[in-house]
Amino acid sequence: MTKYVMSVFVALFVPHVLCAEVVKNACLSVERKRADLDTCKCIQVAADATLTVSDQKLAASIILNPEKSQEIRSSSRRSMEQFWERYVNFGDLAEAYCPKS
């Protein structure tokens, strides 16, 4: 039973730890050094509330390379359309609650 509980724990929590704060880190590393730590932490909270772990990786890649957003938006793949809907929700939440730097 202990092995089962540990396996469930690892399966549920390890992916989040491995991907922890990927959006915040991308926010902090963008060339526009205006972003401050509090704003980037808030943006990460919005990402945690609205995006899956894999979504967060894709969102971080958009933050680092904004041109990628056009590629995603013009994709005919349903999965990319669904991601874009979640990404817009993430952006709306971050814009509403995070301080502007």
Query: Which domain does 34 fall in, by range?
Result: 21-97
Domain annotation covers residue 72? yes
Q: What is the pLDDT of residue 36?
A: 86
Domain annotation covers residue 90? yes
DSSP 3-state percent helix, strand, coil across the chain (nearest 5) = 75, 0, 25
pTM: 0.75
Q: How many domains, the chain?
A: 1
Mean pLDDT by 10 residues, the chain (101 residues): 52 52 92 77 97 98 94 94 97 93 59
Domain annotation covers residue 15? no
Domain annotation covers residue 12? no
Domain annotation covers residue 42? yes
53 in Cβ contact with 15 (< 8 Å): yes
Q: What is the pLDDT of residue 1?
A: 60
Domain annotation covers residue 67? yes
Domain annotation covers residue 80? yes
Q: What is the pLDDT of residue 79?
A: 95
Q: pLDDT tens digits, residue range 34-52?
A: 668 899 999 999 999 999 9
44 in Cβ contact with 16 (< 8 Å): no
